Amino acid sequence: MKKTGYILSACLVFVLCACSGSKKYFKAAEKLEKQGLVNEAADYYLESLQRKPTNVNARIKLKEVGQKYVSSLASEFFRNYNTQQTEASIETFDRLKEFTAKTSALNVGLDYPKSYEEDYQKAVEVLCSKNHAEASALVNQRKFTEALDRISRYKKYNANYKNTAQLEIISVCEPQYQSAVSALEAKNYVSAAFFLNNIRYKSENYKDTKDLEELVKLQQQKSFMLFEPMKSEEKEVEDLLFSAFSQYATQNLSNVQVINNTPFLYLPDVNDVSAVGNVDLIQAIRKATGADYFYVFNVSDRKEQNVGPVKTPAKCYQEVQVRKNDTLVVTEYRLADYNQYKAQRVYSYNFQYKLINAVTNQIVSSQNTTVQSQDLIEYNELVVGRQLAGTAQPNINSFYPYNPQATPVAQQFNPRKWRQLFTAKRDLKPMETLKAETNEEAQKVFKNSINKFVK
């Protein structure tokens, strides 16, 4: 009979999934009730009333059938409790409380013996005590998965029961801790970091995990050594770059230790960026310093260029209004002179670097590039003279690069950009500014290389 009820209930759910009306659930509840499926009918009457709280028939039937359902649950709880079926009695009473809470929210009161509340609390205490004792024993036996299972059985009823929090921390963290220790012993620092990170999600202070994290960090940390160029003709620039590179590496390479290259001021052979260098020397320096990466660079072919300003004479047309008589004013376009000026200032040098993996003696990154900064200016200037109408500084909007009266419409264009050249800037950036910008470009090359490869 019970199996048939489940089948009928499932079929009704399938039929009702496409509709949400209170009447539909009410009719389904009636069918279940006629089949003698009081428990299922009570749930459907509840759903019907939840969908439409003003459904009087659903309210009446929920009160009637719901009370039968609650009484049935109360009887089941009494039977399970008195036969020491603790978990079954708690599960039954939980269903009873959940159902009556929903009906109460709809102002439908259902009764059950209030003394069962006290019995329920006693059952919960028995459940907590029993599973806590088993969890404690399992932790001592280092059976942490089973211990977590016991904890989960009673934690939802009393999360603060005795030392439950501590038992749970041990059960979760200890397996991870042991795995981390094993990974450290095997020098598998990536796995060790993974396990230690899992511990942190549960506890910030489990055993000596903080010390182990520091150890893992140190073991994973790479070391980086920057060498100054040797025999350079651009010492001033290279010293400036060396200082900037060192400062950036020290302040920004969080997972990399920057090693002072003293007393290895220069790295012979390797400093020649056209060759890998002396392998024995690399290994000797690596052994002495512990450096994992060497960075060598140089600067050459530094240039400062100043071009112009170059002046080019040109013609334009000024729009003027000419009065012919008392009633006639005509527009004329008079030829005028102006000069076009162009100038350029450039600062550049050739920047070469090589990033060497000292462990494998391999070049992991190298580049030979020209870094530069330049400034260009282009402007126009009117040649003010008697041929210009008006003041010494006429309105530039009255000038055209072509004669509007003589130029076909298809060849005319908006003179706005041409006019803007008469007010464009006329001073180039100072060479010192260009030098600073060029050095910043070299620093970008350095930053990109170490951020990408030094890990």
Write the pLDDT tens digit of every residue in 193-205: 999 999 999 999 9
Quote the radius of gyration of the chain (alpha carbons, Å). Answer: 44
How confident is the model at residue 134, as a pLDDT?
A: 96
- The CA-based dihedral angle spanning residues 394, 398, 403, 406, taken in that order and rounded to the nearest 10 degrees: -130
- Rounded to two decimals, the pTM is 0.54
Q: Cβ of 301: how many Cβ atoms within 10 Å?
A: 11
Give the residue among 301, 333, 305, 324 at the shortest CA–CA distance from 400. Answer: 333
20 pLDDT band, cuts 50/70/90, is low
Under 8 Å between Cβ of 25 and 48: yes
Per-domain residue ranges of the chain:
2-113, 140-220, 235-453
- Tokens 């590039």 -> residue: 369
First and final CA of the chain: distance in angstroms? 69
How confident is the model at residue 82, as a pLDDT?
A: 95
Mean pLDDT of 411-432: 94
Residue that wins the pLDDT comparison between 387 and 232: 232
Mean pLDDT of 70-80: 95
Q: Tell the burial category of 310 from Cβ atoms under 10 Å away from its Cβ (0-12, 13-18, 19+).
A: exposed
pLDDT surpassing 50 at residue 14:
no
Whole-angstrom distance, CA of residue 371 vs CA of residue 434: 11
Whole-angstrom distance, CA of residue 240 vs CA of residue 294: 19
Q: How far is CA 382 from CA 293, 335, 393, 417, 428, in A?
A: 60, 12, 9, 16, 20
Q: What is the pLDDT of residues 320-335, one digit of tens each?
A: 989 888 889 999 999 9
Average pLDDT value for the chain: 87
Collapsing DSSP states into helix, strand and coil, what is residue 455?
Answer: coil
% of the chain beyond a pLDDT of 90: 66
Judge if the upstream peptide bond of residue 263 is cis by omega within 30 degrees of 0.
yes
Write the DSSP assignment of 290-319 as a string of letters. --SEEEEEEEEEEEEEEEEEEEEEEEEEEE
Q: What is the pLDDT of residues 236-288, one digit of tens each?
A: 999 899 999 988 888 887 666 677 665 666 665 545 544 445 677 777 877 77
186 pLDDT band, cuts 50/70/90, is very high
Q: Cβ of 311: how many Cβ atoms within 10 Å?
A: 12
Whole-angstrom distance, CA of residue 157 vs CA of residue 124: 7
Residue that wins the pLDDT comparison between 14 and 433: 433
Distinct helix (H) and strand (E) counts, the chain: 14, 6
Under 8 Å between Cβ of 106 and 138: no
174 pLDDT band, cuts 50/70/90, is very high
- Tokens 């600073």 -> residue: 436
Judge if the upstream peptide bond of residue 113 is cis by omega within 30 degrees of 0.
no
Pick the CATH number of 2-113 from 3.40.718.10, 1.10.3720.10, 1.25.40.10, 3.30.70.920: 1.25.40.10
Whole-angstrom distance, CA of residue 417 vs CA of residue 315: 16
pLDDT surpassing 50 at residue 233:
yes
